[in-house]
Structure 1
Amino acid sequence: MANSALLVMDVQWDVVDIADDGSGYLPRLRRAIDGARAASIPVIYVVMRLPAGDSQASARSKVIANVVRAGLFAEGAPGTEIHPEVAPEPGDVVVTKRRASAFSGSDLDLVLRARDIDSLVLAGIATSAVVLSTACRAIDLDLGLTVLADACLDTDPELHRVVTENLFPLWGDVLTVEEWLDAIAPR
Structure 2
Amino acid sequence: MTTTALLVMDVQNGIVARVPDPGYVPRVAAAVRAARAAGVPVLYVVIGFRAGHPEISPRNKTFGALPDGAYTPGDPGAAIHPDLAPRPGEPVVTKRRVSAFTGSDLEVLLRSRGVGHLVLAGLATSGVVLSTLRQAADLDFRLTVLADGCGDADPELHRVLLEKVFPRQAEVTTIEAWTASLG
TM-score over 0.5 for the pair = yes
Secondary structure at 2:63 match in 1: helix
Query: What's the CA shift for 1:111?
Result: 0.2
How far apart in 1 are the matches of 2:2 and 2:27? 23
Structure 1 residues 17 and 70: alpha-carbon distance in aligned structure 2, compared to 1, 3 A threshold: farther
Cα distance in 2, alignment partners of residues 16 and 23 from structure 1: 10
CA RMSD of aligned residues (A): 1.3
Structure that is richer in helix per residue: 1
Question: What is the deviation of 1:21?
Answer: 1.3
Which of 155, 158, 161 in structure 2 is aligned with 1:160? Answer: 158
Give the match for residue 62 of structure 2. 63
| Cross-structure match for 1:182 | 180
Rounded Cα–Cα distance in structure 1 between residues aligned with 2:2 and 2:33:
16
Between the two proteins, the alignment pairs up a number of residues equal to 183
For residues 148-184 of structure 1, what are the alpha-carbon distances to aligned partners after superposition, in whole Å with 9 as ceiling and x for unaligned? 0000011111111111111001101000000101111
TM-score by length of 1: 0.94
1:98 to partner: Cα distance? 0.7
Q: Deviations over 1:74-125 (max 9, x none)?
A: 2321110000011101221111111101001110000001100011000011
C-alpha distance in 1 between matches for 2:157 and 2:68: 22
**Identity rate, percent:** 52
Whether the aligned pair in 1 keeps the contact of 2:44 and 2:90 (CA below 8 Å) is: yes
Measure, in 2, the Cα distance between the counterparts of 1:45 and 1:143: 17
Equivalent AA in structure 2 for residue 39 of structure 1: A
**Aligned amino acid, residue 61 of structure 2:** K
Task: Give the corresponding residue for 2:10.
Answer: 10
Unaligned stretches of 5+ in structure 2? none
Partner of residue 108, structure 1: 106
Q: CA deviation at 1:52?
A: 2.4
* Residue pairs, 1:18-37, within 5 angstroms: 18=18, 20-37=19-36
State the AA in 2 paired with 1:98: R
Aligned to 1:171: 169
Equivalent residue for 1:74, pick from 72, 75, 90: 72
* Residue matched to 2:41: 42
Equivalence for 1:121: 119
Q: For the Cα contact (< 8 Å) 1:2–1:41, is it kept in 2?
A: no
TM-score by length of 2: 0.95
